[in-house]
Amino acid sequence: MAKKGILVTGGAGYIGSHVVQQLMATSHRVIVLDNLSTGFANAVPKANLVIGDTKDKVLVDTLLKEYSVDTVMHFAAYTIVPESVADPLKYYANNTCHTHNLLECCAAAGVKHFIFSSTAATYGIPSTPLVTEDTPTIPVNPYGTSKLMSEWMLRDLSQASSLNYVTLRYFNVAGSDPNGHIGQSTRKATLLIKVACEAAVGKREQVYIFGTDYPTPDGTGIRDYIHVEDLANAHILALDYLKQGGKSTTLNCGYGHGYSVREVLDAVQRVHGRPIKIVKHPRRPGDPPRLVAAAQQVRNVLGWQPKYDNLDFIVKTSLNWEYKLLARDRQSTINAKS
């Protein structure tokens, strides 16, 4: 009997590709569905990559049936908060409506397990120092709202069917594969560590601090930064949990402590060994002063034990990847001229 398949939507993207790499290392039968709008085929060289979209019901139905899929890991989404504010319908169409299509196909195919890539943006601007899974979800931008609506659909489908799920609400994901095989190649990235490392290697002239007057020790916003490899491992453990009969649940994915923007930029300069140009700007609307996970539940439920809870290490893997991308770009330019 053929091994059951795992469909990974958006699996050629930043986080999805790290999860796929870990799945492949444990001999799972993996099918990646990605339209490559933000993902890269070379991020999943050993996986079965199907170029397509979750809005294509015929394609999704075919994949679920052809590969006897019993598990879906759903990463496919737009994730840029300012863009979601400027073009909200783009986010509701892709993140919410396309998730509806995917869930409809899963229900028809009898998919048993679903792991959903969600976000701490569902909490909006929390009033407490640490955010628990029970903190009210009051998103302040279309990105967070689009993800929360998908959470609701998944919850309600689970209650009406045999599908069980784990929703993982990510905090600030950073870093790259320590072995340098894959990393964050996102075009026009907005995540602080990625942006700062791009500035360090000369891809950007400067990096901005948005707000220096927050009620925090150094006046800049505080975030919970989690290494992408630890986050990917949480997905592997979530899969094991569901296959062992675990009940549907929603879990925060963070380390449980935060760093300020200034602390992050100090770390980048320290690891890089040279200063980077930093420019102060006013606050951006909707940015909370502090967003840090209460992260005990993910440890209790999944048995998750993070390995890379070290800011300098996170920065080092990010910086190494930026140097690798820089060398690759230079070689491509030389090849194009020859």
CA–CA gap between residue 146 and residue 166 (Å, rounded): 17
78 in catalytic set: no
Tell me, letter by letter, the H, E, C secondary structure of the chain.
CCCCEEEEECCCCHHHHHHHHHHHHCCCEEEEEECCCCCCHHHCCCCEEEECCCCCHHHHHHHHHHCCEEEEEECCCCCCHHHHHHCHHHHHHHHHHHHHHHHHHHHHHCCCEEEEEEEHHHHCCCCCCCECCCCCCCCCCHHHHHHHHHHHHHHHHHHHCCCEEEEEEECEEECCCCCCCCCCCCCCCCCHHHHHHHHHCCCCCCEEEECCCCCCCCCCCEECEEEHHHHHHHHHHHHHHHHCCCCCEEEEECCCCCEEHHHHHHHHHHHHCCCCCEEEECCCCCCCCEECECCHHHHHHHCCCCCCCCHHHHHHHHHHHHHHHHHHHHHHHHHHHC
Catalytic residue among 143, 214, 241, 308: 143
CB under 8 Å to 1, separation ≥6 — which residues?
A: none
Residues carrying an active site annotation: 143
